[in-house]
């Protein structure tokens, strides 16, 4: 995004990687719960399996 007046909402169960930030970039994250590592999927293959229902949901 190149406009500081814009934002982006990323809903749950959407794979995203955040990288390649400019030096003056600000990344703000708002959440409805405290961070818990167990809530996050770090492996894309595991994420796809969860979306398909191939594995137990975390």
Q: Domain of 49?
A: 8-20+31-58
Domain assignment present for 50: yes
Domain assignment present for 26: no
Q: Given this model, what pLDDT does residue 29 score? A: 85
- Using the CB atoms, write b or e for 19-35: b if 16+ within 10 Å: eeeeeeeeeeeeeeeee
d(CA 29, CA 32): 10
Domain assignment present for 13: yes
Tens digits of per-residue pLDDT, 1-58?
Answer: 788 888 888 888 899 888 898 898 888 888 889 999 998 999 999 999 999 986 554 4
Domain assignment present for 25: no
């Amino acid at each position: 995004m190149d406009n500081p007046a814009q934002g982006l909402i990323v809903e749950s169960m959407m794979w995203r990687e955040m990288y390649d930030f400019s030096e003056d970039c600000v990344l703000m994250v708002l959440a409805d719960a405290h961070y818990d590592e167990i809530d996050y999927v770090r492996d894309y293959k595991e994420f796809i399996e969860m979306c398909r229902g191939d594995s137990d949901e975390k």
